[in-house]
Amino acid sequence: MDQSKEQRILNSVSYNAVKGDPESVLDCIDNYCSQKEWAMNVGDEKGVILDKVVEEADPTIALEFGTYVGYSAIRIARLLKPNARLLTIEFNPEFASIAREIIEIAGLSEKITIIEGHSQDIIPQLREKYQVDKVDFVFLDHWKERYCPDTILLEECGYLKKGSILLADNIVYPGAPDFVKYIRSHKSFDCTNYPSHLEYMKVEDAMEKAVYMG
Ligand SMILES: O=C(NCCCOCn1ccc2cnccc21)c1cc(-c2ccc(F)cc2)cc(O)c1O
Ligand SMILES: [Mg+2]
């Protein structure tokens, strides 16, 4: 059976990256996806914005929706302080298993927990099953129509505290108009837009940061 694009990305990382070196894994994925096959990683341009917001948040508990092959999970986890951890949710089992291998190559398996399932089912389980009390940083990069309902669910479940930072990918392309409308009009969120480009393309895109004010 033909290999998937995601399997080919894993092959490239496994062959070219330096084991235990997250930067070399990120560079390998960016090189492969800009030169060989486009893939929906946040990429190196928007990745710099992600880095800056993660550094600003300096999270103890970080949450990500949309693991894919683990690129942004590695980007986030490489910046976390010693006892901090990232929980990342992926609903596609093939993607989850490929991400697990790529994260292992990056040497970040101890800091990252991949949870397989749908965000709407996992979010209510985070407290009991994953000992999560509050979430300091959330990266939204899954189905764009889930950004808004999942933000509401996070708030309703009481995971957001004063200063919790949300960062959403693909605000322009593919776009998340209902999320943007909701978050910018919500009195408890302080929003900032970061214009950028779609990963590996000249197409316009943007990220939106929303700080929860309690
Ligand atoms: O669609 C995208 N991402 C989402 C994947 C599925 O996510 C599903 N998914 C992952 C956890 C999870 C948890 N619960 C439910 C669904 C859950 C996505 C798409 C594009 C894109 C841009 C241009 C194109 F021509 C085609 C595609 C770019 C991006 O940066 C993206 O992030
Ligand atoms: Mg994205």
Per-residue pLDDT tens for 169-213? 999 999 999 999 999 999 999 999 999 999 999 999 999 999 999
Sign for the pseudo-dihedral over CA of 40, 46, 48, 53 = negative
Choice among 169, 205, 208, 209 that is catalytic: 169
User: With DSSP H G I counted as helix, E B as strand and the rest as coil, what are the percentages for the chain, rounded to 5?
Assistant: 45, 25, 30
What's the rounded mean pLDDT across residues 121-134?
A: 98
Q: Residue 129 — very low, low, confident or very high, per pLDDT cuts 50/70/90?
A: very high
Check if 43 has its Cβ closer than 6 Å to any atom of ligand 1.
Answer: no
Respond yes or no: is residue 141 known to be catalytic.
yes
Torsion of CA 86, 87, 88, 92, to 10 degrees: 150
Q: State the closest ligand 1 atom to the C-alpha of 41, by its place in the atom list counted from 1.
A: 30
Distance 39 CA to ligand 2 centre (A): 10
Check if 90 has its Cβ closer than 6 Å to any atom of ligand 1.
Answer: yes
Cβ neighbours around 178 below 10 Å, total: 13
ipTM of the complex: 0.99
What's the rounded mean pLDDT across residues 152-167?
A: 98
Check if 118 has its Cβ closer than 6 Å to any atom of ligand 1.
Answer: yes
Check if 141 has its Cβ closer than 6 Å to any atom of ligand 1.
Answer: yes
